[in-house]
Structure 1
Amino acid sequence: MESSLSFSLPETLVLPLKTQLISSGSVPRSPSKLPFHHNVSLTVSLTVGTPPQNVSMVIDTGSELSWLHCNKTATYPSAFDPTRSTSYGPIPCSSPTCTNRTQDFTIPASCDSNDFCHATLSYADASSSEGNLASDTFNMGSFDSLDMVFGCMHSVFSSNTDEDSKNTGLMGMNRGSLSFVSQMGFPKFSYCISGTDFSGLLLLGESNFTWMLPLNYTPLIQISTPLPYFDRVAYTVQLEGIKVSDKLLPIPKSVFEPDHTGAGQTMVDSGTQFTFLLGPAYTALRTEFLNQTTGVLRVLEDSNFVFQGAMDLCYRVPITQRVLPRLPTVSLVFRGAEMTVSYERVLYRVPGEERGNDSVHCLSFGNSDLLGVEAYVIGHHHQQNVWMEFDLENSRIGLAQVRCDLAGKRFGVAH
């Protein structure tokens, strides 16, 4: 495998995926595999610095710069300590890394009082972090130590502190020049998340295996002109339609096309849990799903309850009912490929939400307009049991329905 980097990469690195949070030190290390688990976010454990420090990072295909908490607090007990690493080095703001390679940051890099490169990052869920760009050695499985540029963050605001406090930082996996995959020089990466126990894997490198189903590919959409609302380094695909069961919804094609400002792109994002659709598409889906579930499910009649601020179609299901009735599937139709969300993932049981003897289940698609997000976002909940290949070399994403727990066994990933 050719790489633009000077070190030799093994053809693939396989990282097992698991749902329980495991401390980095308690995981058995095999030469080329790393622990990788899923709860509300997908995380990987690795070591950074000299001597190595254990860190846990959220895998995020929707962002560029990888970063670590560098300020240990009661809220964020898991932090990287740069003063303990002899290989750590802050990036000066006069460095080409600071002046040239930060051009896709939504907030431009700046100089701090020590003339170090200062970065401020903000995310769609209102989380933000800021600190300095730095470099240090990252150790992953059988790879040699890699010198990586990352953000050493001293100030972090999270919209989900409970979840984020369990991790040391975030691993940016988009197409920007400072993303983890760009710095590693991989031509492609893939992941697969099981729909039952969330076991699965992340695979860095080639994934051409004869036992796999053929992938259906959809091209990545690229716009060379900078537009205010278009993220040029996101994994943007063209959504062309939505089906409920086999019924194609009567949504004009123009609803799925980015407008003259770039608003309305469709992004595949592993850092977001659910899928969000712009208002007209969401309303059409909500209406048809409601029609097809009439008499099958009991609607939660509570206009004040909107799950995660964007999901307003919810149902009451008796707590004693172990299995949901068979529900309509929802298919996202892309150019050249289709992603079908089967009935057990169409609804999401809201944790801790009960009404009398009923639990609350909501349609797992939300309304982007209610979040103030000018985009379609395909979250990881709907990528379960789908082999997702991000082919950077050929600017495309490959999809195939697959049993991810069985795929893990094929790769010898033990859980």
Structure 2
Amino acid sequence: MLLILFSLSLFTLPFSQSNSVSLPFPLSLSEKPSNISPIYGSQLYAKKPSSHGSFKLPFKYSSTALVVSLPIGTPPQPTDLVLDTGSQLSWIQCHDKVKKKLPPLPKPKTASFDPSLSSSFSLLPCNHPICKPRIPDFTLPTSCDQNRLCHYSYFYADGTLAEGNLVREKFSLSNSLSTPPVILGCAQASTENRGILGMNKGRLSFISQAKISKFSYCVPARTGSNPTGLFYLGDNPNSSRFKYVTMLTFPESQSSPNLDPLAYTLPMKGIKIAGKRLNISPAAFKPDAGGSGQTMIDSGSDLTYLVDEAYEKVKEEVVRLVGAKMKKGYVYAAVADMCFDARVTAEVGRRIGGISFEFDNGVEILVGRGEGVLTEVEKGVKCVGFGRSERLGIGSNIIGTVHQQNMWVEYDLTNRRIGFGGAECSRLK
């Protein structure tokens, strides 16, 4: 599921981007008396310092989404959230009882969090800075509702909608570790049955508000039922063997119609199939003056999306290798047309061999091998895991989870780099 949205960098907020991700987690955890309330904008804190240097938890790989369950509120209520490095605002599905405080809206498919049961829950009023965008054409439309509360509407590139009120609530990661109250959405109208954990570089993202400067996850292969992976906040004990790629960064003020300065942008150089480097200009992976060509890594996107120049070269090579086996006339979701009946996918995987992505400084990452280069899109049909981004109305390259399987992906914001390390993710504890 593609969860790329517009930049939210236009908010006027009471803290600066320069200090939003500068403190490491959890090395900076400090002891605080339990009777002191956390302050908005302060870092994660623990009643007792952590001796492990990180916090980890499993996640479910459910319907192509990475789903973590985090305890939210006081007392904590387990809440399912999709881990999404491609968007900023976190939001939760709110229970019907919230209607006592919010204007009535169509309820979501499922209700999970009940604000009336949490003593740390609070609603944002209309006079909060987040409800005062500097320009009318704001990418997160906010407004005053009839109760003078801050109302938001959030639309994603894949058509997902979430609408409700902006609130403050804390996350309790363990009995001794919690966040201060963070700003998030309390959705009552939604096309999804889970919430979102926004993890991009924007100052409203979960990691920015909680002062987390490093996190990582390991996506399992899509085999068997209910595969699980592992998610770290803070240091990863496996990082000594990771290959690192330096991120490209852009000022939030940079005005380009197709550029997302808050995304995790990688200096991609090329693609190899079966050891052959495809004849794709490196310019296809680099943002031009208007931002087109930006290459992002996103845990909220299933497929990897390529601009037409790159997609056509990939398809040309796939047709050369296994064109006779392709499912004629089949197009998945209007974006992917390199697809096969399941009965031939083992042979197709053998012929394609492996797919690798090339980055700056000679870094090469194997992102699929054999039948693993294919992903099931419906019963009996598998496709090579690429889609055309321009069919979605965007001119960017997006590395989705189909090409992040069986590897650690670490986001190191302090050092502005992304790390990759092979692993059997479903076996991790």
TM over 0.5: yes
1:401 and 1:203, CA in 2 relative to 1: closer, same or farther beyond 3 A? same
1:111 aligns with 2:144: yes
Q: Deviations over 1:18-39 (max 9, x none)?
A: 44xxxxxxxxxxxxxxxxxx44
Q: Does 1:309 align with 2:351?
A: no
Once the two structures are TM-superposed, the CA of residue 106 in structure 1 deviates from its matched residue by 2.6
One-letter identity of the residue aligned with 1:222: T
Does 2:80 correspond to 1:46? Answer: no
Query: Which residue pairs with 1:16 in the alignment?
Result: 58
TM-superposed deviation, 1:323: 9.7
* 2:292 counterpart of 1:250: no
For these two proteins, the number of residue pairs brought into alignment is: 370
Contact kept? 1:265, 1:376, Cα under 8 Å: yes
State the partner residue of 2:8.
none
Q: Is the 8 A contact 1:101 1:177 kept in 2?
A: no
> In structure 2, the residue corresponding to 1:236 is in which secondary structure?
coil
- Deviations along 1:350-405, one digit per CA (max 9) or x if unpaired, are 323xxxxxx32211111112222221111112101111000011111011222224
Are 2:85 and 2:199, in contact at CA under 8 Å, matched by a contact in 1? yes
Contact kept in structure 2, 1:71 and 1:155, CA below 8 Å = no
Cα deviation for residue 324 of structure 1 reads: 5.3
1:153 equivalent in structure 2: 187
Partner of 1:192: 218
Residue 335 of structure 1 pairs with residue 360 of structure 2 = yes
Q: Unaligned stretches of 5+ in structure 2?
A: 1-26, 30-41, 97-105
CA distance in 1 between counterparts of 2:407 and 2:417 reads 16
* Aligned ranges 1:7-406 → 2 under 5 Å: 7-8=45-46, 10=50, 11-19=53-61, 38-70=62-94, 72=96, 76-99=109-132, 106-146=139-179, 147-156=181-190, 158=191, 164-165=192-193, 167=194, 169-195=195-221, 196-197=223-224, 198-209=227-238, 214-224=241-251, 225-294=254-323, 298-302=325-329, 305-318=330-343, 325-336=350-361, 337-340=363-366, 341-352=368-379, 359-406=380-427
The superposition leaves residues 280-299 of structure 1 with CA deviations (integer Å, 9 ceiling, x where unpaired) of 100100111111225xx622
Q: Give the TM-score normalised by structure 1.
A: 0.81
What SS class does the counterpart of residue 352 from structure 2 fall into?
Answer: coil
Residues in 2 aligned to 1:293 and 1:279: alpha-carbon distance in whole angstroms? 20
Matched residue type, 1:62: G
**What is the distance in 1 between the residues matched to 2:345 and 2:249?**
49
Contact 1:102 1:108 in 2 (8 A): no
Tell me how far apart the structure 1 counterparts of residues 138 and 245 of structure 2 sit (CA, whole Å).
Answer: 26
CA distance in 2, matches of 1:373, 1:263: 8
Instruction: Tell me if the contact between 1:47 and 1:53 (Cα under 8 Å) persists in the aligned partners.
Output: yes
Residue type of the alignment partner of 1:67: W
Structure 1 runs not aligned, ≥5 long: 20-37, 159-163, 353-358
2:321 and 2:351 in contact (8 A); partners too: no
Q: 1:94 to 1:237 in 2, by over 3 A?
A: same
The change in CA–CA distance for 1:6 and 1:398 in structure 2 (over 3 A counts) is closer
Distance 1:399 1:6 in 2: 26
Letter of the structure 2 residue corresponding to residue 16 of structure 1: P
Q: 1:137 to 1:397 in 2, by over 3 A?
A: same
Instruction: Classify 1:51/1:403 alpha carbon distance in 2 versus 1 (closer, same or farther; 3 Å).
Output: closer
**Which is further off, 272-281 or 199-208?**
199-208
User: Percent of counterpart pairs with the same letter?
Assistant: 37
Give RMSD over aligned pairs: 2.8
Amino acid at match of 1:253: P
Higher deviation after alignment, 197-206 or 212-221: 212-221
Residue 16 of structure 1, CA deviation: 1.6
Cα 1:215/1:145, change in 2 over 3 Å: closer
Equivalent pair of 2:60/2:68 in contact (CA under 8 Å): no
SS in 2 for 1:125: coil
Q: Give, in angstroms, the shift of residue 320 of structure 1.
A: 11
Cα distance in 1 for residues equivalent to 2:167 and 2:149 = 9
Q: Tell me the amino acid that sits aligned with residue 187 of structure 1.
A: S
Measured in 2, the distance between the counterparts of 1:202 and 1:321 equals: 31
Which residue number corresponds to residue 33 of structure 1? none
CA separation of 1:252 and 1:320: change in aligned 2, threshold 3 A: closer
Secondary structure, counterpart of 1:255 in structure 2: helix
1:343, CA displacement in angstroms? 2.1
Given that 1:101 and 1:178 are in contact with CA atoms closer than 8 Å, whether structure 2 keeps it comes out as: no
CA distance in 1, matches of 2:398, 2:260: 12
Higher mean C-alpha deviation, range 225-234 or range 184-193: 225-234
User: For residue 114 of structure 2, what is the amino acid of its counterpart?
Assistant: D
TM-score (norm 2): 0.79
Show CA shifts across 1:246-269 (max 9, x none). 111111222222122212211111
Give the conservation status (yes or no) of the 8 Å contact 1:313–1:363. yes
Q: Work out the CA distance in 1 between the residues paired with 2:422 and 2:136.
A: 36
Q: Is the 8 A contact 2:410 2:420 kept in 1?
A: yes
